[in-house]
Amino acid sequence: MKRIYFDNAATTPLDPAVLDAMLPYMTEKFGNPSAIYSYGRESKLGIENARKSVARILNAHPGEIFFTSGGTESSNTAITAAIRDLGCRHIITSAIEHHATLHTVEQLHSSQGIQLSEVNLLPNGHVDLEHLRQLLAGSAKRCLVTLMHANNEIGNLLDLHAVGNLCKEFDAIFHSDTVQTVGHYPFDLRNTPVHFINGAGHKFHGPKGVGILYINENVKIKPYIQGGAQERNMRAGTENLYGIVGFAKALELATEHYEEHSRYINDLRLYMAAQLQQHIPGVAFNGDLYGRSLYTVLNASFPKSEKSEMLLFNLDINGICASGGSACTSGADAGSHVIRALSSDPNRVSVRFSFSRDNTKEEVDAVVEKLKELV
């Protein structure tokens, strides 16, 4: 059976050109980057060249880019440091953040008594910026605002500049989880009012287990992981050498082909939305599909029936990979916290389809045909 993979917001296949860039660092260039002899210097050079490349693409200073194990570690580091090192005693977030953010802020709230507020969401899932202003203006303590740039389940995009300027006005620290957008959109960090952002290589055809944390040069924090002096004393542990090289190569390729790939993927997403509307009675879409929305994600909502209750399971049996929400909770049966926050209608079943440049209209047609049977 030919499988159809429509879960690219969870992870993407490794680009062969990225693997080619990584292979020398898996074989002959194997030295520990902390070593002073030639093998070590060679490895260190690979890391620093990767850092420069990432910084250039994001328009940041190389000293602001730190390599981590991925988006989760980066979010944990930024949020914890804002409380521990930057004097924040009030966290403002939303109910639809990734669990890497939600679980971290809940833990800080319960263990340290940090004040925790949730900003209201508009009916289309966007953050209510007026309510955010009220929360910031009404806080007697320094705030950390942690809001994701693009929601991984419904695709809604946050206006980074609007939120960043609000934070600046009220002397708040701003962390944005940009895991779904680094590698998918151009960034200009020198001209974006944000203190921390994060990225993960496997979201844009790079390797798993490697990410970045951008720390604005005006922010001084302590390490989250203690040990050696790696990453300029900011992140202990022997560097994931070939992962870092792969991250930089994947980001270079994604940036080079951004215009062409983003247009192609968005056309595919809108084509699928149109086909579903044409062929599936009662279909609806979660999030701001035709507005400010991530071009890779389509979250479709179907009327609940005996057939559709087992929809993901039946799609899988038919070789179609999609998700009921974030892949990070795919083993849980509690359903999506994002969909719950947006809708209290228990009579709908939601499926996230997410696309890459490798998908085709023929695959969309095959999935829609199968959905006609299953829904």
In DSSP notation, 346-358 reads TTEEEEEEE--TT
pTM over 0.85? The answer is: yes
Between the two ends of the chain, the Cα-to-Cα distance in Å is 21
What backbone torsions phi and psi does residue 341 show, to the nearest 5 degrees? -70, -25
Residue from 83, 70, 105 nearest 235 by CA: 70
**Is 258 in a helix, a strand, or coil?**
helix
Tokens 């090289």 identify what position?
245
Q: Once rounded to an integer, what is the mean pLDDT over residues 38-49? A: 98
Q: Which residues pair with 341 in a beta bridge?
A: none
Residue from 274, 270, 280 nearest 348 by CA: 280
pLDDT at position 328 is: 46
pLDDT at 344 > cutoff 80 = no
DSSP H stretches of helix in the chain: 16-26, 38-58, 71-84, 99-112, 129-137, 160-169, 230-233, 241-256, 258-279, 311-317, 337-342, 361-374
Confidence of residue 333 (pLDDT cuts 50, 70, 90): low
What backbone torsions phi and psi does residue 226 show, to the nearest 5 degrees? -95, 150
Asked if the domains 4-12+257-374 and 16-256 are classified in one and the same CATH topology, the answer is: no
Catalytic residue status for 328: yes
pLDDT digits (tens, 9 = 90+) for 270-295: 999 999 999 999 999 999 999 999 99
pLDDT at position 326 is: 41
pLDDT at 330 > cutoff 70 = no
Q: Once rounded to an integer, what is the mean pLDDT over residues 228-241? A: 97
Query: Span 4-12+257-374: which CATH code?
Result: 3.90.1150.10
Q: Where are the domains of the chain?
A: 4-12+257-374, 16-256
Question: Does domain 16-256 sit in CATH 3.60.110.10?
Answer: no
- Residues 106 and 91: their CA atoms lie apart, in Å, by 10
Total H helices, total E strands in the chain: 12, 12
pLDDT at 146 > cutoff 90 = yes
Confidence of residue 334 (pLDDT cuts 50, 70, 90): low
- Single-letter residue type at 224: Y
In DSSP notation, 73-112 reads HHHHHHHHHHHHTS---EEEE-TTS-HHHHHHHHHHHHHH
**Is 212 in a helix, a strand, or coil?**
strand
Between β-strands 297-303 and 348-354, what pairing exists: parallel, antiparallel or unpaired?
antiparallel
